[in-house]
């Protein structure tokens, strides 16, 4: 559960950053947050699978390294998805 929450938070932050970087492709605050959160879950899961980060914890405590990895993966995934969707929306508007 901590992994999903950290991916959502990382993705939302990444989506907001992507909207600030690519101001022409910004979809507004809510659109950037939603696109970033969706991309964050996908990106965090993909990065976790590639790096072999375990979602579970052995001793019942939180693994700070896994949470940090999910935040970073979610942030990168959220930024990428927001920028791609923002560029597509910009092209559709003309």
Query: Using one digit for the tens of pLDDT, what is the confidence trace for 12-37?
Result: 999 999 999 988 888 999 999 999 99
Q: What are the CA-CA distances from residue 18 to residues 14, 31, 35, 51, 70 (Å)? A: 6, 11, 10, 24, 18
Q: Is 2 helix (H, G, I), strand (E, B) or coil?
A: helix
Q: What is the mean pLDDT of residues 47-54?
A: 66
Neighbours of 56 (CB within 10 A): 8
Q: Which two tokens stand for residue 74?
A: 């979610």
On the question of pLDDT at 58 being above 80, the answer is no
Confidence of residue 45 (pLDDT cuts 50, 70, 90): confident
The average confidence (pLDDT) of the chain is 84
* Separation CA 94–CA 90 (nearest Å): 6
Least confident of 28-37, 42-51, 75-84: 42-51
On the question of pLDDT at 57 being above 50, the answer is no
Q: Tell me the torsion sign for CA atoms 2, 70, 39, 29.
A: positive
pLDDT more than 90, % of the chain: 47
């Amino acid at each position: 559960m901590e992994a999903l929450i950290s991916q959502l938070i990382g993705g939302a932050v990444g989506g907001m950053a992507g909207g600030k970087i690519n101001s022409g492709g910004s979809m507004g605050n809510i659109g950037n947050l939603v696109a970033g959160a969706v991309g964050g879950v996908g990106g965090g899961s993909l990065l976790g699978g590639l790096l072999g980060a375990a979602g579970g914890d052995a001793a019942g405590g939180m693994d700070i390294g896994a949470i940090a990895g999910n935040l970073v993966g979610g942030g990168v995934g959220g930024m990428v998805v927001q920028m791609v969707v923002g560029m597509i929306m910009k092209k559709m508007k003309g």
